[in-house]
Amino acid sequence: MTKFLYSDSNKRYHTLDYFYKHKFKSKIFKVSLNAGFTCPNIDGTVGTKGCIYCSKSGSGDFAGNPNDDLIKQFETIKNIVLNKWPKAKYIGYFQARTNTYAPLSILKEKYETILSLPNVVGLNIATRSDSITDECLDYLEELNKKTYLTIELGLQTIHEKTATLINRCSTLENFEKMVYKLKQKNINVVVHIINGLPYETKKMMIDTVKYLNKLPIDGIKIHMLHIVKDTQLAYMYKQEPFHVLTRDEYVDIVINQLENLRPEIVIHRITGDPKKEDLIEPTWLLKKFCVLNEIDKEMVKRDSYQGKSVN
């Protein structure tokens, strides 16, 4: 039986829980926040309609209430967590839309408001590779010396035809340059990808991971495509339905992707969390723990583990 190096459980991949536990020696909980940012793919800078799968919340469906200030958002979520993990420490997660897309003075005020709160040990900032100015990059470098900073970049796919279809409005070249700029400043980089994008094959999804494996990234978030109400994707699916991955197909693709990732790359997410009332397809995503269990069982069955196919 294979024993995976970065695990002290039955997991055969490098989970975020394992990483946090060994880095901080404490339970870490990410508090998702909506800081009221917009996006260059919405305000007309690079586009106006956004990515076709993006919900009204800008991928912040489980972030705080945008009508509340950041401290109230944080405290509301933290107080729920306290009941389960009274000694937890926290990472503020700026999740909704593009969280470096604002003047530097606004970024500083929002980030440092959260960093000033008790037991906050870091920030995760979700953004686009085309939305980090040189001025912002210098500030992030300083911030990284004060706290545990992670920048999350949305890539979704390396394939240009798909990127055009989903209206990403940013290039692979720009993404790669930003990864290296961030790493030159010793900033942690996590990349988001989406499996099941319209008309992509299994090979295309695995090729996206093989490409990322060659970059100096620290972590990855693997999502399954959600088709949710009131999005351009939902309209497309209604007009011309495309194949949506089955749970078994998704499990198979994820395992192949994990096998092609260096074992030190942390897996921050391996499935999705759609809102039941908004989800059109795939409905099997609503049973998150079933998906996780199927991945674990199938990896054991195959004697698979993260990095197995990496030369």
- pLDDT (tens digit, 0 to 9) for every residue of the chain, 311 residues total? 467 889 999 899 999 999 999 999 999 999 999 999 999 999 999 999 899 998 775 555 667 788 899 999 999 999 988 888 889 999 999 999 999 999 999 999 999 999 999 999 999 999 999 999 999 999 999 999 999 999 999 999 999 999 999 999 999 999 999 999 999 999 999 999 999 999 999 999 999 999 999 999 999 999 999 999 999 999 999 999 999 999 999 999 999 999 999 999 999 999 988 889 999 999 999 999 999 999 999 999 999 999 999 98
Instruction: Please give the Cα distance from 207 to 37 (Å, whole number).
Output: 32
DSSP 3-state assignment of 91?
A: strand
CB atoms within 10 A of CB 252: 17
pLDDT at 64 (0 to 100): 74
Q: What is the CATH number of domain 16-302?
A: 3.20.20.70
CB atoms within 10 A of CB 179: 21
pLDDT at 279 (0 to 100): 95
The answer to whether the CB of 179 falls within 8 A of the CB of 189 is yes
pLDDT at 83 (0 to 100): 85
101 burial level (CB within 10 Å; 0-12, 13-18, 19+): buried
- Within 8 A by CB and 6+ apart from 134, the residues are none
pLDDT at 65 (0 to 100): 85
Which strand ranges, in their side-by-side order, compose the sheet holding 219-224?
28-33, 89-94, 120-127, 148-156, 188-195, 219-224, 266-269
pLDDT at 67 (0 to 100): 87
